[in-house]
Amino acid sequence: MKILVVEDENKVAKALKEGLESEHYKVTVAQTGEDGFFQANAQGFDLILLDVMLPGRDGIEILKTLRKRGLQTPVLILTAKDTIEDRVVGLDSGADDYLVKPFAFSELLARVRALVRRGRTDQVLRLKIADLDLDLVTRVVKRGAEPLDLTVREFELLEYLLRNQNQLVSREMLARDVWCEPTRATSLDNVIDVHIARLRKKVDQSFPVRLIHTVRGVGFVLKEESSSVEASTLRGGGESC
Ligand code: CA
């Protein structure tokens, strides 16, 4: 877990760095707004602790610019200001949380943990197996550098297989979770098979390593040839219909 601390007061910066490092976070300190802005853009952090009163560009201005550029990293604002107005400005600018100085380190740690956790669940934006890569935000699917042109249903199907990779996925699961049909019908099995065949053509046909495998009489599994299948895990994939 990498944390960027943007704080101009030496003593506070040092205490934060040492405290967080003793909790096994990797900490980078920036002591000016400019450097903080540069670091936040240059490296991928899991969390940014941002002081508001900084020489040069202040924390709020930096935060607004970072958010405008699309940076999603959770930001915890640290400031001595304690009026309701300042808190509102901070949160309106894209901060995820707000801590008023002086604060107890244990409280800071609790908030850091909460934000890192939240950030991590939000970050499942890509699904991968071998050289296959599915981006849930841009909806771009690639094998290696080669983009694959999938229909909406093929995309959903592949997403489901990726979420359940190395596990058997039955037609029943696909009917329920991808087609949202509570009861399985033979006609739907045929539709599923047709879609799998088309998807397989796009995903596997021009590539040396096959990823979509049929398990006769049961269903399918997305895996790299060498990895084993957990046959005992015929379970739901948690999709919502
Ligand atoms: Ca300051």
- For 144-192, the pLDDT digits (tens) are 999 999 998 999 999 999 988 888 999 988 988 788 776 777 788 899 9
């990726």: which residue's tokens? 162
Cα 7 to ligand 1 centroid, rounded to whole Å? 6
Query: What is the mean pLDDT of the segment spanning 39-45?
Result: 81
pLDDT at 125 over 80: no
Residues within 5 Å of ion ligand 1, judged at the Cβ atom: 8, 51, 53
Instruction: Count the domains in the chain.
Output: 2
Are residue 113 and residue 139 in the same domain, yes or no? no
Rounded CA gap, 62 and 184, in Å?
54
Q: Is residue 240 part of a domain?
A: no
Global confidence as pTM? 0.53
Q: Which two tokens stand for residue 2?
A: 């990498």
17 is a domain residue: yes
What was the pLDDT predicted at 120?
59
Ligand 1 centre distance from Cα of residue 80 (Å): 8
- The CATH number covering residue 190 comes to 1.10.10.10
Same-domain check for residues 89 and 155:
no
Q: How far separated are the first and last CA of the chain, in Å rounded?
A: 34
Radius of gyration of the chain (CA): 24
Q: How far is the CA of 77 from the centre of ligand 1 (A)?
A: 11
Predicted confidence (pLDDT) at residue 234 exceeds the cutoff of 50:
no
Helix axes 59-68, 84-92, angle to 10 degrees: 30
Task: Tell me, in angstroms, the distance from the centre of ligand 1 to residue 88's CA.
Answer: 19
Across the chain, what does the average pLDDT equal? 86
In a domain, 177, yes or no: yes
Check residues 229 and 43 and name the one with the higher pLDDT: 43
Tell me how far the alpha carbon of residue 113 lies from the centroid of ligand 1, in angstroms: 23
pLDDT above 80: residue 117: no
Strand partners, 135: 126
- Helix H segments across the chain? 10-22, 33-42, 59-68, 84-92, 105-122, 152-163, 171-177, 186-204
Whether 241 is in a domain gets the answer no
* Average pLDDT of the segment spanning 126-135: 90
As a whole number of angstroms, the distance between CA 198 and CA 16 comes to 54
Alpha-carbon span 190 to 186, nearest angstrom: 6
Shared-domain flag, residues 137 and 70: no
CA of 93 to the centre of ligand 1 (A): 18
Confidence band for 214, pLDDT divided at 50, 70 and 90: very high
Same-domain check for residues 22 and 90: yes
Q: Is residue 239 part of a domain?
A: no
Residues 166 and 141 in one domain: yes
Is residue 238 predicted with pLDDT exceeding 90? no
pLDDT at residue 241 is higher than 70: no
